[in-house]
Amino acid sequence: MKKKILSNLFKFICLLCSLIFLIWAYQSGNFQLIFDYPDEFIVLFSEHLKLVTLSSALAIFTSIPVGIFITRERFKKFEWAFLNLANIGQAVPSIAVLALIMLVLGIGLYSAVIALFMYSLLPILRNTVEGIKSIDNQLLDSAKGMGLTPTQILFRIEIPNALPTMMGGIRTAVVLNIGNAALAYLIGGGGLGDYIFTGIEMLDSTYLLSGAVPVTLMAIIADSSLRLIERFITSKGVRLRQSAIN
């Protein structure tokens, strides 16, 4: 109970500090660039959103099937290979991943998407594997005893119970992608990194904050939205069990 109160208090303080910062930045004219050139901001914002959406979708639709595949009894021996392969994207700095992809595929939006896709594979893959492996064996044995087929066990038992852990990996990957997408500007991928790096080069807080603050807000909104989706698609029994564990 105390832990929950402290957590809520910390969130409130962070929200209050963020609100104070935004009011200060607005009053000091640091967001004037957005109001002066709204069409340009919308284009950059749309590019950033496209980068994140495409790379995250690719990562989700690749990592989850692979994670399920390597948790099957016959294929568990490949787990270390796939996890270490996905770990390359995290072990190598994101700027280096972008540079390597640029050398192979050239510059542009889709090169940036591939780089972000590689960087976001590991959180989803690892959480998918860990979520399925954490399911109680007695629960699986009971399902087998009831005559459920392996496919039915996967979709009725394993995935529903592993869903909170899997969604945690997805949230992590999406938030990482939103921040790293700013680097796509360096290889011609567009996005709000245009404002951020222009602000750094010119030492201009107007450009810097006009790019950095929307990226931050995008990450917060994405994380909160995915939490709501997780709550909506996770069964009540699984939520209650997760609450009891926490």
Angle at 106 between CA 51 and CA 201, to 5 degrees: 70
pLDDT, residue 209, reads 86
Please indicate whether residue 128 or residue 22 has the higher confidence score (pLDDT).
Answer: 128
Q: Are residues 6 and 81 in the same domain?
A: no
Q: Are residues 99 and 143 in the same domain?
A: yes
Q: Are residues 2 and 110 in the same domain?
A: no
Number of domains composing the chain: 2
> Domain containing 125 — which CATH number?
1.10.3720.10
pLDDT digits (tens, 9 = 90+) for 53-76: 999 999 999 999 999 999 988 888
Q: Which residues of 1-25 are buried (b: 16+ CB within 10 A; e: fewer)?
A: eeeeeeeeeeeeeeeeeeeeebeeb
Q: Could you give the CA distance from residue 159 to residue 142 in angstroms, rounded to a whole number?
A: 16
Q: Are residues 24 and 96 in the same domain?
A: no
User: In this structure, what are the phi and psi dihedrals at residue 182, rounded to the nearest 5 degrees?
Assistant: -60, -30
pLDDT, residue 7, reads 62
Residue with tokens 């990592």: 63
pLDDT, residue 35, reads 79
Instruction: Take residue 50 and report the two structure tokens written for it.
Output: 């496209």
pLDDT, residue 76, reads 85
Q: Are residues 98 and 210 in the same domain?
A: yes
Q: Are residues 181 and 120 in the same domain?
A: yes
Cβ neighbourhood burial of 42 (10 Å; 0-12, 13-18, 19+)? exposed
Cβ neighbourhood burial of 67 (10 Å; 0-12, 13-18, 19+)? buried
Q: Are residues 8 and 51 in the same domain?
A: no
The residue segments making up the domain with residue 159 are 36-245
Q: Are residues 112 and 217 in the same domain?
A: yes
Q: Are residues 189 and 143 in the same domain?
A: yes
The separation between the first and the last C-alpha atoms of the chain, rounded to the nearest angstrom, is 10
Give the pLDDT band (50/70/90) at residue 237: low
pLDDT digits (tens, 9 = 90+) for 101-152: 888 888 888 889 998 998 889 999 999 999 999 888 888 888 888 888 888 8
Q: Are residues 111 and 85 in the same domain?
A: yes
Q: Are residues 1 and 53 in the same domain?
A: no
Q: Are residues 11 and 52 in the same domain?
A: no
Indicate whether 27 pLDDT > 80. no
The full DSSP string for 91-140 is: HS-HHHHHHHHHHHH-SSHHHHHHHHHHHHHHHHHHHHHHHHHTS-HHHH
Contact criterion met (CB below 8 Å) for 187 and 108: yes
